[in-house]
Amino acid sequence: MSTADAPSWTRRAVGVLVGAAVAMVLVGCGADGASPPGALEVDRITVAAASDLRPAFEELGQAFEAATGTSVTFSFGSSGQLREQIVNGAPFHLFAAANVSFVDEVIASGRGVATTKADYALGRIVLWAPSGVALPKSIEELTDARYRRIAIANPDHAPYGLAAEQALKSAGVHDRIRSRLVYGENISDTFRIVQSNNAEIGIVALSLAIADGSQYTLVPAELHEPLEQALVVTSRGEHGNAAAAFARFLGSPAGREVMVRYGFVLPGEALPTS
C-alpha cells in the first residue's frame, strides 16, 4: 500500500515515527525545539497512558530506564479521564492516548507541546473470555443466551469502549444485547470484570488478551472507527526533553518490536486481516 493510498492516520505518521532515519531526526530536538543533552538530566518522568498500553509500556519503561538511567512512572486509565487530569493541571510529562482526538484536545488547551504530537500505533479490539468459556467465532454470536453479561469499556470516555459499541452497532446486535452490557471505567477495568467472572465475555484490547496468553477472536477493523493512538509531550525543560526521549524510544527498533508483540499496528504498516 502506497502512502497516497494509506489511511489518514498512516499518512500523518509517515515522516514522524517510521524508520530509523526519522528517529534520527527526532533525536535532534527536544520538547523545547533545542538540542537535547547527550545524557538525560532527570531521574524520573511521569507518563499518562491509555490502559491498553499497560503490558507494552511497563516493559518499555524498564528498558528505557536501563538505557538512560531515567525511570518512568506510569498512570494508566481511560484516555478521556487522563485528558481531563492534564487539562486541569496534573503534572504529567507525556500523554499517550488511545485516540488522537484526546491529544488534540490537550494541545488545544495549551497543555501539550504541539510539535511533539505523533501517531504511534493503531489499536485492535477482540472478543475475550477466560479459559473454560466457549469463545464466539464472531461478534454476531454474542446474541447467544449463554453470554448473560458482556463487558465493554465506558464509551463516553474510553476509546476502546467506543470502538466496541460501534462494532456492536455495525454488526446489528447492539440493541439485542444492550440490556446485557456491563461497563468498565477503562479497558483494563473491563478486562478485570471478565477475569473475575462478573461477565462471561468482554470486548477488550488485543494487547491485554495477548499479555494474558489466553484465547480471543479478533473483531474486524471495518466494524469501527480506527483506534488511532497518538502521544504528545506535556511539559517543557529537561523533563520535556526526557519525555520526548521516551517517545523516540517507543519509535525505535526495540520499541517497535515490543509494540508489535502486543498486537499493535505501527505507523507505515498495513492492517492485518487476522
State the binding site: 79, 187
Which distant-in-sequence residues (6+ apart) come within 8 Å of 27 by Cβ? 36, 248
Side-chain half-sphere CA neighbours of 261 within 13 A: 14
81-90: burial string, b at 16+ Cβ within 10 Å, e else: bbbbbbbeeb
Annotated binding site for molybdate: 79, 187
Across-strand partners of 217?
Answer: 127
The 10 Å Cβ neighbour count of residue 273 is 7
Q: Are strands 201-205 and 150-153 parallel, antiparallel or unpaired?
A: parallel
State how far the Cα of 181 lies from the Cα of 202, in Å rounded to an integer: 9
Contact 232, 94 (CB under 8 A): yes
Strand order in the sheet with 150-153: 181-184, 150-153, 201-205, 125-128, 216-218
Say which amino acid occupies 273: T
Paired strand residues for 94: 47, 233
Between CA 32 and CA 134 the distance in angstroms is 52
